[in-house]
Amino acid sequence: MSRFWNARTRELAPYIPGEQPRQRAYIKLNTNENPYPPSPATLQAIARAAGEGLRLYPDPVCRELREAVAERWGVKPEQVFAGNGSDEVLAFAFAAFFETEPDAAARRGGAVLFPDITYSFYPVYARLWGVPYECPRLQDDFSIDHASFLTRCGGVVFPNPNAPTGIALPREHVLAIARYHAEQGAVVIVDEAYVDFARSADGAGGNVPLSVIDSIKDHLNLLVVRTLSKSTSLAGLRIGFAVGNEELIEGLCRVRDSFNSYPVDRLALAGAAAAVRDAAYYEETTRKIISTRERTAAALVEKGYTALPSSANFLFIRHPILTGAEFRIRLREAGILVRHFNAEGGVSRIADFVRVSIGTDTDMDAFLAACAKEAV
């Protein structure tokens, strides 16, 4: 602790990202990165943008990217907000729509709700902005109980599919939450970072519609946040966007322009717009990841592991005997990185699990070989 920090800084518990090693080559399955490269069209757009124009500030309103998103998802550019990764978009959303002052929070319905096991940046944002929050408990099968979110509150945020479990909430339940809170005047934020990897409700593999972007016109309190880091192979470019009604987008713009009016650089804007328009390429790589995920999950179950039903580009698995911490260490010694979450609060229920990103078939064959050695 530094004597120069203010009280809020001293109380923060920052988000800890996955390990990015530099010392040796690992099979890296710990940060949900896409194992396939960006499309040629994406890389060409970035190369074209890397010229003399870099001396100029980028477009502060990200017009080209917003128009590409609007065309792809059938909305208006005025209903799209772009930011420096979905993490920044989410941070702006917490600041724009959730109350911090106790009396104001009480008038708006009280604490913001998000699941007790979910993306660990949500409590970080809440503490950063001073937003009161509560965490409804996941069900025993680690799925979100949508009924626990049908209560008066100051707002709702959750990923769909959820992280780190990978389990998706049915689309009709997502919209039921949005409808309930529309009457309360509370914003519902659906973080669709992994939605392109969704599977059908009956457990069959495949890339099926789960996104609720098409419902923003009927749910004025619904904000859908997306990232280009996962299915679009652009984690290194840092691009995210939100889709919602014009009032919500204006709120995000007010926060952005009170913080940084140029959050997205020229190279990122060019590459992101090209990636959004090159849907066919990314749909093909997504299909490969889904197929590899299903094959890997089946092989793990056959070896005695537990694998939760995933609709994401990762699996949440449990070793038959080893703790999650022990299993992570054994895999690291074998040259494979996976993610283990510390047992704090509700996360203690998942202390024996590790999250495994889906790599190439070659990566996952090596992972399965290591798991076979550790199986009992």
Give the pLDDT score at 291: 96
**Cβ–Cβ < 8 Å for 90, 121:** yes
Q: How many alpha carbons lie under 13 Å from residue 358 in its C-beta half-sphere? A: 28
Q: What is the pLDDT of residues 178-201, one digit of tens each?
A: 999 998 899 999 999 999 999 643
* Domain assignment present for 2: no
Last residue of a domain, one of 278, 310, 325: 278
Q: Sign of the C-alpha dihedral, residues 234, 239, 240, 245?
A: negative
Question: Are 27 and 49 part of one and the same domain?
Answer: no
d(CA 364, CA 370): 10
Looking up residue 306, the CATH number of its domain turns out to be 3.90.1150.10
Looking up residue 100, the CATH number of its domain turns out to be 3.40.640.10
Question: Are 204 and 215 part of one and the same domain?
Answer: yes
Backbone angles phi, psi at 82, to 5 degrees: -115, 145
Question: Are 258 and 221 part of one and the same domain?
Answer: yes
Give the pLDDT score at 376: 52
d(CA 359, CA 295): 12
Strands (E), the chain: 27-28, 80-83, 112-113, 133-134, 155-159, 188-191, 222-227, 240-243, 306-307, 314-318, 336-337, 353-357
Question: Are 114 and 25 part of one and the same domain?
Answer: no
**Cβ–Cβ < 8 Å for 33, 289:** no
Give the pLDDT band (50/70/90) at residue 52. Answer: very high
* Domain assignment present for 138: yes
* Domain assignment present for 10: no
* Domain assignment present for 9: no
Domain that includes residue 294, residue range: 17-37+280-374
Give the pLDDT band (50/70/90) at residue 347. Answer: low
Q: What is the mean pLDDT of residues 362-376?
A: 88
Last residue of a domain, one of 255, 278, 301: 278
* Domain assignment present for 6: no
With 70 as the cut, is the pLDDT of residue 375 above it?
Answer: no
Mean pLDDT of the chain: 92
Give the pLDDT band (50/70/90) at residue 1. Answer: confident
Give the pLDDT band (50/70/90) at residue 204. Answer: very low
24-33, 215-224, 237-246, 358-367: which range is least confident on average?
Answer: 24-33
* Domain assignment present for 46: yes
| Buried residues in 95-106 as b, exposed as e (16+ CB within 10 A) | bbbbbeeeeebe
Question: Are 142 and 237 part of one and the same domain?
Answer: yes
Question: Are 71 and 147 part of one and the same domain?
Answer: yes
Give the pLDDT score at 113: 98
Question: Are 196 and 236 part of one and the same domain?
Answer: yes
Q: What is the pLDDT of residues 8-30, one digit of tens each?
A: 888 888 777 777 777 668 999 99
* Domain assignment present for 32: yes
Question: Are 218 and 251 part of one and the same domain?
Answer: yes
Give the pLDDT band (50/70/90) at residue 205. Answer: very low
Question: Are 289 and 249 part of one and the same domain?
Answer: no
Q: What is the pLDDT of residues 255-306, one digit of tens each?
A: 999 999 888 999 999 999 999 999 999 999 999 999 999 999 999 999 999 9
* Domain assignment present for 3: no
The number of distinct structural domains making up the chain is 2
Q: What is the mean pLDDT of residues 109-114?
A: 94
With 90 as the cut, is the pLDDT of residue 106 above it?
Answer: no
The DSSP annotation for 99-130 comes to --SHHHHHHHTSSEE--SSS-THHHHHHHHHT
Last residue of a domain, one of 278, 293, 314: 278
Q: What is the pLDDT of residues 237-265, one digit of tens each?
A: 999 999 999 999 999 999 999 999 888 99
Question: Are 258 and 115 part of one and the same domain?
Answer: yes
With 60 as the cut, is the pLDDT of residue 203 above it?
Answer: no
Give the pLDDT score at 200: 43
52-66, 94-108, 173-187: which range is least confident on average?
Answer: 94-108
Give the pLDDT score at 18: 72
Question: Are 32 and 100 part of one and the same domain?
Answer: no
Question: Are 272 and 307 part of one and the same domain?
Answer: no
